[in-house]
Structures are given as C-alpha cells and as structure tokens.
Amino acid sequence: MAKHKGRAWHGRLLAAALGVTALAAATSVWTAQADSTGERAPQARASAPAIRPVAVDIAHASDQGARGVNITIDDGPDPVWTPQVLQLLREHGVKATFCMVGTQARAYPGLVKAVVADGHRLCDHTISHDTAMDTKSESYQSQQILDAERMITEASGGVRPQYYRAPGGAFTPYSRQLAASRGMRPLGWNVDTKDFEQPGVDAMVATVQREIADGPTVLFHDAGGDRSQTVAALREILPWLKEQGYAFGFPVR
C-alpha cells in the first residue's frame, strides 16, 4: 500500500495532535492515581457495553459478497467537502465507511453525527495521520489509535468506530492486534483512486473501472485539500457501479 499523502497535511495534523497527547498523558496519570487509592471508576465507564474483539487480518472483502463494493472516505470530516460527499451518497442510496482523523472529528462533531445519522460506518484513522507509524514505538502507535478512537466516539455521541485504517497503509502486527482487541477490524483497500494527487476526474473514473474487478474496497478522500475532483468522480462512479450490477456494502468485520 503506497504511502502517497502530502507532508504539509501531515504536519498540520501532527501539530494539532501534540496537545491531545499531553491531555491523554494527564488523564492516564489521574486514572492510575484513582486506581491506586481504591476509588471506584465513574458509573458511565462501568456501564459501557463490552467490546468484542474482531479478526486481526486486514479486511478487503465486502459484506455484499463477490459483487459488493465498499466505498471508503478518508481524512475527514471536512466542513467543505464532507457535506458534498454525504449529499452524493444520499442521492444514490449508497452507504460508505468514513475513516476519520481524530482531531478532525473533534473539530467537527456535527459532521461526525451527520455521517452516523445517514447510516454510514466510522473508522479510526489515527490522530495525526503519520504515514511513518510503522517505524514508531508501540506506545506511540497506541496513543495514535486509542486517542483517535476516543475522539471519534465522543464526537459521534457514543458510536464507536468499527474499523482501523493505518495512514498510508502503515500497519504493524502490534497496531493490528491493538485495533482488533478494541473491536476495530484493520481495513485495507483494493482500488486507490489517487484522488489525493488530483489526477483528474477522467483518470479517477478510469482507475475504478479498470481495477474494481481486482477487489471491492475503493479509496477516496474528503479532506486534506481541494476534493472537488473527488466529488465529481463520485458523481460518475456511483451510477456506473450500479449499472454494472454491483451492490454497495461495508467491509467485512
């Protein structure tokens, strides 16, 4: 899986995540102190539903079978592009999986709730979109995944992400195991539209038409820059897939 996303976008997200790391560290200290003094955990934590672990291998298949297609949307939510993507999906009756960056979810909780309200699924895409995560320590990977999980869940009003997609595909055995233990299936892709590089609408449509037979999970983005080409490409791709007899679904869990 190519690590193809822009460095400037990563830098901005990493800077935003620094304050989150400090907050998470302080929270960890508070929790450790509370446990050591024998204080009871807050009732909300005690009453939370149990998390069921899922498979650790990277999912590509669709729950709609051999003729299924999984539309996946990365890096948002974004106040300009996410509403446009949601409108298109609504017009075509398509459900998608939104792989959200934690800091973006925290900044735009209304959009996270809109995604959930439309019946789409959530995916953890870390807090700073570090495509070199596979070279970092396990503690760093844990912080990136778990902080994003918390931010997305809080922003959604309590709906947890069901998948974890490593930035640029930078999975490790540890990150996959951690995500799976939290009920988030590691999520890959089969068709990379390369919309992040803005190759042109025709090129993106042609990529999907050429490669969809190789696997069902298609990668798009709704943040990180001008996504007008993505919106225009989706406007052509969604009806074309329907005409070819594909059914839209979610990645297997």
Q: What is d(CA 74, CA 77) in angstroms, rounded to the nearest whole number? A: 8
221 is catalytic: yes
- Given the residues 74, 78, 124, 192, the one annotated as active site: 74
- Tell which residue, 55, 58, 61, has the closest CA to residue 217: 61
Q: Tokens representing 136?
A: 């970092």
Residue 243 — φ and ψ, nearest 5°? -65, -30
- Given the residues 78, 192, 221, 222, the one annotated as active site: 221
Q: What is d(CA 73, CA 122) in angstroms, rounded to the nearest whole number? A: 10
CA end-to-end distance (rounded Å), the chain = 20
Q: What is d(CA 185, CA 125) in angstroms, rounded to the nearest whole number? A: 12
- CB contact set of 156 (below 8 Å; sequence gap of 6+): 105, 109, 112, 113, 115, 116, 122
Residues labelled catalytic: 74, 221
